[in-house]
Amino acid sequence: MNPSQLSEKFINFVGQTSPYPPTLEVSRGEGSWLVSVDGNRYLDFISGIAVTNVGHCHPHVVTAVQAQAAQYAHTMVYGEHVQTPQVHLAEKIVSVAPAGLDCVYFLTTGAEANDAALKLAAKRLTRRRFIAFTGAYHGDTVGAMSCFGSDHFRNQFSGLLADVTFLPFGDTSAVKQINDTIAAVLVEPVQGEGGIILPPPGYLQLLRDRCTETGAMLIFDEVQTGFGRTGNWFASQTYDVIPDIITMAKGMGAGYPLAGVLAPRQLLYDFAAVPAFSHITTFGGHPVSCAAGLAAMKIIKDEGLLENCRNQGEWLIKALMEVAVQVPQVIRNVRGVGLMIGVETASEQIARSLVDDCRARGLILETNLLQESVIRFSPALNVNRVECETAIRLFADALKAL
């Protein structure tokens, strides 16, 4: 089948998420590179949006997946049978987690993990109100979408959604709206889809203190920031603030579907009691995904990828700032932490045309869901300096051609 026929069938038979998919026809992935069906090579600087943290098809991940797939894939719904890769991965995650978060409830997607965390908080406190933030994205299930900090998306589903009050992210004066009617505060430590927005110094600690005062639970959505993206296993460690619950997905499965709620063991027992089975899932903690996740954690440790993430991230931010000062009318701001970097351009049109031109030149970048003027750079944590230099050169070329 020739490439254009493939894309035509993709449009006709595969349900679409938007009217304008980029239709890159992928043949294979290798490290930080994607190769298209027609043989072109693309430097992947988004990693499937912070998913392939150890690159595409790392040989140790491939071996682990093949071995597990040959052993068993599914034997029983989550939580019933003892599945070795699940047990080892949970133990490994707990060993690098912030103190007190000592048990993992496995799920499959980030949205599902956030739903589970909201349910846990509501159940423990018998409170039904939540706090979330403008510019937040937590996923598209009904529960997670209740906390979507965008009227544009949420308004389509009013009536279905939970009782959520939205605070401006980073506004310290609004924090007093967290009171003793609130079950939980759900927050991304660094807003991803909102445009790579970093928390102001002390802000996450302020949320922590206010939650402790009012008894509300603090949930960090680390679906995007987790598994090394900010230069530590969790952003909670980067900002030195320990929440009551961390939700995880994306990089957790190294490209395979996997998510989880990381919380104190006692709290997670609420799902197993009164009533038993109050949060069940068939595919949670799929053994093949857990084997991949376990291999990825070993790679991150053995190959020093947390340090590499910090080093390459610092270099990239500096290089992007040097590019930015030459075009102040095009680039307004460069910001980021680790390898979670945003370049704010002057308009959505500029960002879109830069992303499209970069793709034509062989560099994959993307804008953010809620801030389409911001271009994200989130390469794999094992990206090397030559690849970073190549990305900067291609981006600078696209800027010159604007």
Which residues make up the interface to ligand PLP (CB under 6 A)?
49, 109-111, 114, 137-139, 188, 192-193, 221, 223-224, 249
For the CB of residue 255, give the shortest distance to ligand PLP in the complex, in Å: 13
Please, which residue, 188 or 387, has the CB nearer to ligand PLP?
188
Closer residue to ligand PLP, CB minimum distance, 89 or 186 = 186
- For residue 157, the 8-state DSSP code is G
Please count the CA atoms within 13 angstroms of the CA of 258 that sit on its side-chain side. 27
* Residue 120: CB minimum distance to ligand PLP, A: 16
In degrees, to the nearest 5, what angle opens at C-alpha 224 toward C-alphas 66 and 110? 70
Find the Cα–Cα–Cα–Cα dihedral 82, 83, 87, 92, rounded to 10°.
180
Question: Count of alpha carbons within 13 Å of 310, Cβ hemisphere only?
Answer: 9
Between 224 and 371, whose beta carbon lies closer to ligand PLP?
A: 224
Residue 212: CB partners within 8 Å, gap ≥ 6? none
Beta strand segments in 236-379, E: 245-248, 259-263, 331-337, 340-345, 363-364, 366-367, 374-377
Query: Which of residues 144 and 391 has its CB atom nearest to ligand PLP in the complex?
Result: 144
The residue nearest ligand PLP at its CB is: 110
CB of 239: closest distance to ligand PLP in angstroms?
15
Strand-pair partners of 187: 220
Q: Residue 146 contacts by C-beta under 8 Å, 6 or more apart in sequence? A: 118, 130, 132, 154, 161, 162, 163, 164
**Angle at CA 376, nearest 5°, toward 31 and 51?**
40
| Least distance (Å) between residue 149 CB and ligand PLP | 11
User: b/e string for 252-280 if b means 16 or more Cβ within 10 A?
Assistant: bbbbbbbbbbbbeeebbebbeeeeeeebe
Phi, psi of 150 (to 5 degrees): -145, 115
Measured from the CB of residue 108, what is the shortest distance to ligand PLP in angstroms? 8
Query: Tokens representing 329?
Result: 């009318």
Closest distance between ligand PLP and the C-beta of residue 232, in Å?
A: 17
The residue (of 49 and 272) whose beta carbon lies closer to ligand PLP is 49
Q: With respect to ligand PLP, which residue has the nearer C-beta, 244 or 387?
A: 244
Q: How far is it between the farthest Cα atoms of the chain?
A: 62
Task: Compare residues 223 and 290 and give the one whose CB is closer to ligand PLP.
Answer: 223
Looking at the Cβ atoms of 83 and 114, the one nearer to ligand PLP is 114
In whole angstroms, the minimum distance from the beta carbon of 249 to ligand PLP comes to 4
Closest distance to ligand PLP from the beta carbon of 110 (Å): 2
When the beta carbons of 148 and 271 are compared against ligand PLP, the nearer one is: 148
Alpha carbons 90 and 315: distance in angstroms, whole number? 33
Write out the two tokens for 387.
Answer: 């690849």
Nearest distance in Å: CB 222, ligand PLP: 8
Q: Which helix (H) or strand (E) holds 14?
A: none
Question: Cα-atom radius of gyration of the chain, to the nearest Å?
Answer: 21
Residue 277 structure tokens: 């089975």
DSSP code string of 46-66:
SHHHHT-TT-BT-HHHHHHHH
Least separation in angstroms between CB 358 and ligand PLP: 21
Quick one: 47 or 357, whose CB is closer to ligand PLP? Answer: 47
